[in-house]
Amino acid sequence: MRVAGGDSTSTTVLQACDQSAGDLLRVKNLTVRYCVAGTEFTAVDDVSLAIAPGEIVGLLGESGCGKTTVALSLLGVLPESARVTAGSVLFCRQDLLSLKESQLRRLRGAQISVIYQDSSVLNPVIRVGDQVCEVLRAHATCSLGEARDKVRSVFTSIGLTESERIYQAYPHQLSGGQRQRIAIAQALICSPRLVIADEPTASVDPDTAEEILDYMRRMKEAYGTSFLVISHDPDALAAVADRIIVMYAGQIVEDGPLSELYSQPLHPYTQALLQCSLNRKKSQEAGRREPLPFIPGNSPDPLEVIPGCSFASRCVHRMQICDTHRPETFETSSSRSVRCFKCEAS
């Protein structure tokens, strides 16, 4: 089964994917601004990140920190109120921000796909098997019978064992967990090189969540698929990610291998997030019903221009310089970086 041909620019991107020996995705200095009711504000501020072939990267942070805006920028599907004002998004060495919409459509689904946290993206009046089949036939040269066989195979692989019944069902006839698996099947049916998973386990039970994460690991191992997994939950990412990128108020504040970052977090925000997760886990294991742990204070208002560190007002290590200067990203090793004056001074 092969990817359908398209315009010359899209074909060049696909060929570059096959020949590329470096990072699969490299985002450089990405800045995204929104305009709401005539007022502009920055949602993503000078973000740079990279994903290697066959790597699972977790993007961790509270709601509203800019994680989903980064994902929408990569796909070229930002809302009309948003625009990229700076930066580049290199996928197999081709800047996606320079492509036309028709060229991006050739890549979405075939080479880059997305798993949304809300399975309501499914069309309520089309059988779910046909919806997944449509994605495959839009990007691959195959007969209808071949496409249906492929869909049933993927259904079985992700735990939908009654594949024929599921294929013929409408979304309302399936459980929430089954609908989420259908959304995952849509994203994976063309064996894309990069999958962006936005809170893929947020709306399912723990057993289903574990099966979804296990399938991601198997896709990585069997096909070299790369994943960008977006979550506010450190525990969810701990089960699947190779590397963690931590975002706060539109900026990346820490980046490093999961084992190192979770065992020795450097940024005060990362430390606070992981401590909240640890406290919650201890309460659950002890069978206690206690208030959910939280980080005191609030994230900064996006409309507010902060001269110093955006986390300063919530930081237990706050210094005078934090209120007047913005910290730059500081590399603590070849594999780790952090945006914090405390680490730069140590």
Residues of the chain with pLDDT under 50: 1-10
CA–centroid distance for 70 within its chain: 8
Q: What is the pLDDT of residue 96?
A: 95
SS3 of 253-271:
EEEEEHHHHHHCCCCHHHH
> Which helix H or strand E contains 238, and what residues bound it?
helix 234-238
Q: What is the pLDDT of residues 234-276, one digit of tens each?
A: 999 999 999 999 999 999 999 999 999 999 999 999 999 999 8
What is the pLDDT at residue 40? Answer: 94
User: Do you know the residue count of the chain?
Assistant: 346
Residue 12 has what pLDDT?
A: 55
The domain segmentation of the chain, as residue ranges, is 268-346
**Helix 176-188 to helix 128-139 angle, to the nearest 10 degrees?**
10
Q: d(Cα 13, Cα 91) in Å, to the nearest integer?
A: 8
- Enter the DSSP assignment of 172: G
Q: How far is residue 175's CA from residue 104's CA, in Å, rounded to a whole number? A: 32
Question: Helix or strand or coil: residue 240?
Answer: coil
Rg, the chain, Cα only: 21
Q: What is the pLDDT of residue 253?
A: 97
Q: Which of 186, 175, 168 is nearest to 126 (CA)?
A: 168
